[in-house]
Amino acid sequence: MTHHTGFEGDAFAQLRAIDRAGPIHMLNLVKLRDRALYDDGRAATGAEAYAAYSRESAPIFGREGGRIVWSGRMEFMLIGPADEHWDLCFIAEYPSAEAFVAMIKDPTYRKAMAHRQAAVETSRLIRMEPGKAGGGFG
């Protein structure tokens, strides 16, 4: 059973195979563990471990042109599983899929991922094509 905490080869290859130039948005939905699960046994909360991931990965994220274009706090699930709760909800924008891939391949970023893996119970990462903001739903 997967807990959706990291990349799997087929999905990563499919993400890279989408042939569209221009920016991408990555919708992030993250549920944190109460206690982080580090391989070396160190003690930290999930929130503390995710904060370490954020702090260590931010320079690479910024260098590749990434920015957070939306973030919010989940209050209530109106449509969907009533027991599903997301601690972190945000959309990261990258200038291109190649910029996202460059970030993922960076050795410093890969080292920071240990904190994310320790912190996250489950997550969703959804690639989206940016649309136009406005009054319509489609």
Ranges assigned E (strand) in the chain:
24-32, 67-72, 88-94, 120-128
Question: What's residue 138's pLDDT?
Answer: 67
CA distances from 47 to 9, 31, 43, 84, 116 (A): 27, 10, 12, 18, 10
Q: Considering the entire predicted model, what is its pTM?
A: 0.91
Domains of the chain: 23-128 (3.30.70.100)
Q: What was the pLDDT predicted at 8?
A: 73
CA distance 129 to 103: 19
Give the integer Cα–Cα distance in Å for 107 and 13. Answer: 19
What are the tens digits of pLDDT across the range 19-37?
899 999 999 999 999 999 9
pLDDT the model gives residue 1: 36
